[in-house]
Every structure is written in structure tokens, then in C-alpha cells.
Amino acid sequence: MLYAFHELAYHSATPFRIGAQMARQFWTSPLNPAADTAIGRTAYAAAEVFESLTRRYGKPDWGLETIEIDGKPVRTTEQVVWSSPWCRLVRFARNIGDLKRAGRPPAAPAVVIVAPLSGHYATLLRGTVETFLQDHDVYVTDWANARQVPMLEGRFDFNDYIDHVRDMLAAVGPRAHVVGVCQPGPPVLAACAVMAAENDPNRPASMTFMGSPIDARLSPTVTNQLAEEKPFTWFKSNMIHTVPLPYPGVGRRVYPGFVQLYSFMSMNEDKHVDAHRRYFEDLVAGDGDGVEKHEQFYDEYLSVLDLTEEFYLQTIDIVFQQHLLPRGLLQHRGQTVDLTAITDIGLATIEGEMDDISGVGQTQAAHGLTPNIPDDRRLLYVQPKVGHYGVFNGRRFREEIYPRVRDFIAQNEALSVVPERSASAA
């Protein structure tokens, strides 16, 4: 019933949202002589904050039609190269002519960025994708909102996630490079192990994990402790709800994105309250830079998606309670996932010193679990003075983390025989 009550609350606030929108127009109208007074600016700011807190945030756009490489504009084209009801693999094809003008070769290592399926859209990695586009042919997983997937499409669970990673790597072609950001770490590592055990020609040349809970037993955070302290039945009883009408996925049992959002916001409630107070003050003062920065962050942060019941509960069980992958007990389609089968796939682990989601040690645990990877195909790096988000976005990521990952990918590209891939630069 929680989902239905959430929808009722949203629609019940519609008249007040309309009133706030009308107030914004009234207090910003050039025909209103009081618009530029202290009272007018305050009234406008109050209406703007109310409307922003009560509206529905849809899936954001990527906004990467043009990027900058070495100071030169380079156009990109979004191409869907593979899809299922649960995910699209999107390629950002860089324009060859623009690359030549920027002094870059048209050919580049193919990198598949596996975005988290943990409540936010893949666009949360916009900065990550833009940075990797400097030197790579970039693909990113664009996961679907479970409430938009009809019941007739069936289930999507942890094993399906592993299969999706395999299928998408196959769509890109042999010896691409895969980057798992946060949540995807365990299933991506499992997929690579399965591919290695089968000598799959489409196994990646390297795998990079950023802030991933490969072994959540190490340096447990508040999030890890919650997952361990609560019994499995608690998650099933309290976190799973039914999609109501009018969504296409009506009747599907899901872990709603708004529950995830409220959980994360409650962990840093004071921080979010202060951010909206400053937003109000910036609106009153007419500080356009402060307003734009706040809106850019929260337009993304407040855009959430639902996860299927089976995927969410299996992730809690497999990754955070039983720790099956690091214990060597994970089963995929009836076969034990053998991490020692990985012998010719490079491994990089990136962690943040101040990460409060995946503590230091959880990601680098992958090195101890894959003893047969040669030392010259490894990278272990802990970035000082960054939290979870800073591991894959922001200034320190661009200036200190990304160059290391770029060089690691180039090194493993050189060590791998890379046949011609199915996709080519646009």
C-alpha cells in the first residue's frame, strides 16, 4: 500500500504545485512592480522551493551531444547497440572528423561502463562517461525502471544481471574493457569469471571496479551494517511494494526508488536541509551560479527508478549477508563461479579514502580473490580525500584517478590481441 499512498500524496499536492507555479510567474513578471522587491524575491523563492520539492523528476537527459577534447569540440551520437526489456547498451560515438581536428586517432579502446542498478539512472555517471570519452570508445548500460516493464516480460534477478553483462560485452566484441561503478562490482566480476572459465572470446581485456562491494565484510559502513543486522525477512516485509496503476508494470513487486532516496537522504538529513536553505537564500539574492549548481545536482539526485523484488533481495542476500562471491560459494546457472579461472583479464580497483558506502578494502579484495592474474596487469589505488561519489566523478576523479585508469586500460589493450569489433566510430 505504501506505493499507492506515495502516488496519492503526489497527486494530492498537484493544486498546490499549480499555485506555486502561478506564484513564480506572478513574482517574476516584468509587469509586476513589486517583482524586484525584497518581498517579491522572497515570495518567488518560497514558491520555487516548494515546487522543486514536490514535483516528479523524470529520467534526465545525457546532454553529451558535444564534448571537449584538448580544447576542441567533438560531437557525439547516441547509438543503442543492444537492448532488452531491462536495459539498453548506449554507445556515444565520437565524430571522426572532429577527432581528427582535435588531433586524436579515430580508433580507441572500447570501454563498457556498467552503471549502478541501485535507485538512480545511469545519467548519474554523466561526468564519468564524458571523461572516458576523452580517450575511449564508450558504451554505458542504461538500466530500465522496473515500474515501466510489464509483468509479461517476466523476472529480472541477480543471475539475469550477470547474463546481461555477458550479452552486452558480446555485442561490443572481443577484448573490450569493462568498468563497474559501485553496485555492479560483484555481478560484473562473476560475469568475467564465467566468461574466462568458458574461454569466451568476448571476455574483456580488463576490468576496473570503482567503489564496489566485492567483499562487504571488510571495513563495514553504516549501509553494510544495516544490511547485516536486519534479518532477510525484514527487507522482504518492509522494502518491497507493489507497482500501482497507471504504470505499465502494474502488479510488479519492486523496491521503489523513492524508498531508496528517502533512506539515503535520511542518512544526511542536515546536509540536505542546509542545501535547500542555501538554495532559498540564493534565489532571494539572485545568485544564479549557486541556484544553477543546486538545481543541476538535485535534478539528478531526485530522479530515481525502481528495482525488481528478486534482484534487490538477491543482492541483499548474496552480496551483503552471505557474501557468496568472496567465499567462493556463488552459483550461476548451476555452476560455481570460479574466480581463479581469470588469467588474462587485467584488474584495477579504485577506492576513496573517505567512502562511506563501500569502505576501503571492499573493492581491493578482488585482487586476493583472483590469484592467477599476472602482476603486470593489476592496479590497486586508493584516492586520498574523496568519498564515494568522488571515486568516479569530480575534479579529483578527472585529474588523479582517471589518468591512472586510462594508462591501465592502454597497458592491457597492448597486452591483448584485439580482433576487429562489430561497432566502429561514427
Taking only the tens place, the pLDDT of each residue in 288-335 is 899 999 998 899 989 999 999 999 999 999 999 999 999 999 999 999
Q: How far apart are CA 218 and CA 362, in angstroms?
A: 5
Q: Is residue 59 part of a domain?
A: no
Q: How far apart are CA 304 and CA 285, in angstroms?
A: 30
- Cell match 551483503: residue? 320
Q: Do 107 and 142 share a domain, yes or no? A: yes
CB atoms within 10 A of CB 258: 17
Question: How much is the average pLDDT of 248-257?
Answer: 97
Total domains in the fold of the chain: 2
**Measured between alpha carbons, how far is residue 39 from residues 9, 140, 255 in Å?**
30, 47, 43
Q: What is the mean pLDDT of the chain?
A: 94
Question: How much is the average pLDDT of 92-107?
Answer: 94
Q: Do 148 and 9 share a domain, yes or no? A: no
pLDDT category at 11 given cuts 50, 70, 90 is confident
**The C-alpha cell of 206 is what?**
580488463
Taking only the tens place, the pLDDT of each residue in 16-64 is 999 999 999 999 998 899 888 999 999 999 999 999 989 889 999 999 9
Whole-number CA gyration radius for the chain: 23
Q: Is residue 60 part of a domain?
A: no
The domain that holds 358 is classified in CATH as 3.40.50.1820
Q: Is residue 246 part of a domain?
A: yes
Answer with the one of 54, 80, 97 that is the final residue of a domain: 54
Q: Do 43 and 74 share a domain, yes or no? A: no
Q: How far apart are CA 213 and CA 182, in angstroms?
A: 7
Q: Do 48 and 163 share a domain, yes or no? A: no
Q: Do 185 and 328 share a domain, yes or no? A: yes
Q: Is residue 422 part of a domain?
A: no
Q: Do 46 and 71 share a domain, yes or no? A: no
Range of the domain at 98: 66-415
Q: Do 149 and 269 share a domain, yes or no? A: yes
Q: Do 24 and 128 share a domain, yes or no? A: no
Please report the pLDDT score of residue 426 as a whole number: 47
Say if residue 125's pLDDT is above 90.
yes
Q: Do 110 and 243 share a domain, yes or no? A: yes
Q: Is residue 358 part of a domain?
A: yes
Say if residue 363's pLDDT is above 70.
yes
Q: Is residue 294 part of a domain?
A: yes
Helix ranges (DSSP H) in 335-419:
365-369, 395-396, 402-415
Q: Is residue 420 part of a domain?
A: no
Q: Do 50 and 117 share a domain, yes or no? A: no
Q: Which bin fits 70, alpha (ψ -120 to 50), beta or left (φ > 0)?
A: left
Q: Do 171 and 286 share a domain, yes or no? A: yes
Q: Do 256 and 285 share a domain, yes or no? A: yes
* Identity of residue 392: F
| Phi, psi angles (nearest 5°) of residue 87 | -165, 150
Q: Is residue 339 part of a domain?
A: yes
Sheet strand arrangement including 307-308: 241-242, 253-255, 307-308
